[in-house]
Amino acid sequence: MPYRPMPPSRMQGFVRAAALACALLAASLPALAVDWTYRVRPGDNLWDLATRYLRSDIAWQRLQQHNGVRDPYALPPGTSIRIPVQWLREQPESARVAFVRGAVTSSAGEGVPETAATQGQRIGIGGWIATGDNASATVEFADGSRVMLSPGTRVAFDRLARYGRTGMVDTRMRVQQGRATHRVETQRGPASHYDVGAPSATSSVRGTRFRTSVQDGRETTEVLEGRVAVDGTRGDADLKAGFGSRNDGGVRARALLPAPMLDEAATRTDALPVSLAWVPLEGASAYLVDVVDADAHEIQRAEMTVPSPSARIDALPAGRYLMRVRAIDVEGVAGRDAVRAIDIPAGPAPPLTLRPTDGEVVFQRKPRFEWARSEGAVRAHVQIARDAAMNDRVAALRSDDLRTRAADPLQPGSYWWRVAAEDADGQVGLFGEALPFEIAEPPADAGLSTPASDDGRLVIRWRAFRDAPRYRVELSRDAAFDDVRLNETVSVPELRVARPGGGRWFVRVHAFDQAGDEVQIGGVQEIRLPCRACYIAGGAGAALLLLLL
C-alpha cells in the first residue's frame, strides 16, 4: 500500500492530543523530591541536625533512612546529608524598607491598613508598597537582595519565606504598575527563589541585575547582568545580559539599545541645576534619566523621562552620585546605561539671585549683583562670563555682603553670572544656574521735550525710562558740568523750576532704578534760553525752540 502523508489538520490534532496525554501522565506521577545538601561538621549528629533543620513533624529516623546512615552516632566530617526541601523547617519572613523619598505608601500585610512608608518599616506576606509621583523607595529582602521602585510604581509581596538556617530564601512579588530595578544576590540551594510576576509574564533569576516594567499596557524585562528566565502565558525565553523582552503573553526578545554617547561639552556637573546631554540614538523613542547613589545603586534620588537628548536635575543633597541615561525603544524596552559621576559638595545651597534678573539689560558698566543669603552661608562667590557654560570668565568676585559690583568696567555685550555660597568652615557649595544679562549703552535720545515757561517757571519733560522711580536733573553753564547751577531730583519725568538766567545752558538727566543706582540717559543736551524779561513777555505756556534730544 503506498504511503500517504497525514493531512495537516489531522497532524495538528494528533500533536495536541499527544501533548495533553503527556501532561496528564506527568500529573499522575509523584513529584520528584528535591534535596538540600548539608556538609557534616565535626560534632554533628542526626538528632541535632533534625532539631536545627527539620519540621517538627519529621522524625530524625526518616533522615537516617533517606541517607542510608548505619550509625547515627558517627557522622564522618565532610560527608553529605541530603534533606528533602519539603522536610525543611520554613518560617515567614518580612521585607525591610531601606529607603524612602517623597510620597510612598504601604501596607505591612494582608488586611493591614495603608500607611505612609518609613525607612526601616517591615512588610510581610500580602503587603505592598507604592511610590507617588517624584517618589522612590528601596526594599531589602532576607538574603540582602534589593528592589528599587521608580516613581508611580506598586509592588505586592506574595511570598516571603526562609528555610530555617539553610540560607535559602523564597521571595516572590508582583509588579502591578511602574518600573522596578532588581539586584538579586546569588541564590543558595534548590529552594531559593526570586520571582517577579506581572500580568502576562513571570521573571525568575538565581542572582543577577535586571529591570521589570508594567506601564500603559506594556510589560518589559531588561537584563543587565546574569540571566533571567521569562515565562509568558504563550511562550518563554531565557534572556542573557544585554537582552530584553516585550511581554504580552508571548515573550519577544531583542538586544537592548546601546548606551547613549554623552556630550561632555554640553554637560554641566559643577553647578545646580546639573545638566546632562548626549548624542541622539537611532531607534530611541524617548530617554530615561535617573540619579542614584554612587555606592548604592538601588537608592534613587531623581528620575525623569524626556523626549530629547538632554535633561537637568534642579536639586540634590550633598554626596557622590551616578547620573544615568538609557534609551527606550518603540516597544518600551529600555537599553543600557550611560553613566556620569557627579559630586555635590557639602557647602551651602546656591543662593537665590535677585539682580540682574534673567535677561535684564543693564546700563551700568560696573553692574551691581545681588542675592539672598543661603542657610549657613557667610560669604558669596560670584562669577561673570561671556558664555552660558561659564568657560570664558571675565570676573570672579567675593563678598561678605549680599551684594557686590564688578571691579572693572564691562564692555557692552552679553554676559552670564552665577553665585555660590561659602560656610564658616570655608566649604563652598555648588554654583547656581547661570543667568544671562546684557550691558548696553544708555539711550542717546532721552526724548527731551521743548523747554517752556509756565507762569515764569521753566518746564522740561523727557521720555519715561523703564520703571525708574526717580530722576535727577542737572543744569550747568558748561558742558563739563563744572559750573552746575541746579541739581534737582523728581519722581516724574518732568522738571519745573524757577526761571534761570538767559543764554546757553547744558542739561543732563539721570534715571534711578529700584536699587538706587542711577544711569545717565540722553547724554548732555544744550539749550538756549531768552532773558528773564522774555519769560514775562511770553506769558504762561510760551514755547521755546523744540529740542528733540
Segment 152-207, tens digit of pLDDT: 999 999 999 999 888 899 999 999 999 999 999 988 888 889 999 999 889 988 88
CB neighbour class for 256 (10 Å; exposed up to 12, middle 13-18, buried from 19): buried
What's the rounded Cα separation, in Å, for the pair 110 and 30? 33
Q: Are residues 289 and 333 in the same domain?
A: yes
Q: Are residues 107 and 223 in the same domain?
A: yes
Q: Are residues 248 and 100 in the same domain?
A: yes
Q: Which residue is it, cell 495537516?
A: 8
Does residue 296 form part of some domain?
yes
What's the rounded Cα separation, in Å, for the pair 504 and 547? 13
- Contact residues for 482 (Cβ-Cβ < 8 A; gap 6+): 476
Q: Poorest-confidence range of 253-267, 290-304, 331-345, 447-461? A: 447-461
Does residue 524 form part of some domain?
yes
- pLDDT for the residue 417: 96
Q: Are residues 369 and 516 in the same domain?
A: no
Does residue 7 form part of some domain?
no
Does residue 493 form part of some domain?
yes
Q: Are residues 432 and 481 in the same domain?
A: no
Q: Are residues 415 and 332 in the same domain?
A: no
Q: Which residue is it, cell 549683583?
A: 369
CATH number for the domain that contains residue 39 = 3.10.350.10
CATH number for the domain that contains residue 200 = 2.60.120.1440
Q: Are residues 58 and 169 in the same domain?
A: no
Does 443 have pLDDT greater than 90? Answer: no
What's the rounded Cα separation, in Å, for the pair 159 and 88? 17
| Confidence (pTM) | 0.71
Identify whether the C-beta of residue 82 lies closer than 8 Å to the C-beta of residue 188.
no
Q: Are residues 103 and 52 in the same domain?
A: no
Domain boundary among 255, 274, 295: 255
Q: Are residues 185 and 101 in the same domain?
A: yes
Does 270 have pLDDT greater than 70? Answer: yes
425-429-431-432 Cα dihedral, nearest 10 degrees: -120
CB neighbour class for 292 (10 Å; exposed up to 12, middle 13-18, buried from 19): buried
Give the pLDDT band of residue 532 (cuts 50, 70, 90): low
Any idea what DSSP says for residue 265? G
Q: Are residues 532 and 480 in the same domain?
A: yes
Does 516 have pLDDT greater than 90? Answer: no
CATH number for the domain that contains residue 271 = 2.60.40.10
Q: Are residues 235 and 102 in the same domain?
A: yes
β-sheet bridge partners, residue 475: 486, 507
What's the rounded Cα separation, in Å, for the pair 155 and 177? 7
Domain boundary among 324, 344, 364: 344
What's the rounded Cα separation, in Å, for the pair 287 and 284? 7
Q: Which domain holds residue 411?
A: 353-439
Give the pLDDT band of residue 23 (cuts 50, 70, 90): very low
Q: Are residues 41 and 55 in the same domain?
A: yes
- pLDDT for the residue 11: 41
Domain boundary among 320, 344, 368: 344
For residue 437, what is its C-alpha cell? 544679562
For the stretch 357-380, pLDDT in tens is: 889 888 889 999 999 888 889 999
What's the rounded Cα separation, in Å, for the pair 431 and 344? 10
Q: Which residue is it, cell 538574603?
A: 143
**Domains identified in the chain, total number:** 5
- pLDDT for the residue 385: 97
Instruction: Report helix, strand and coil shares of the chain as percent, to nearest 5.
Output: 10, 50, 45
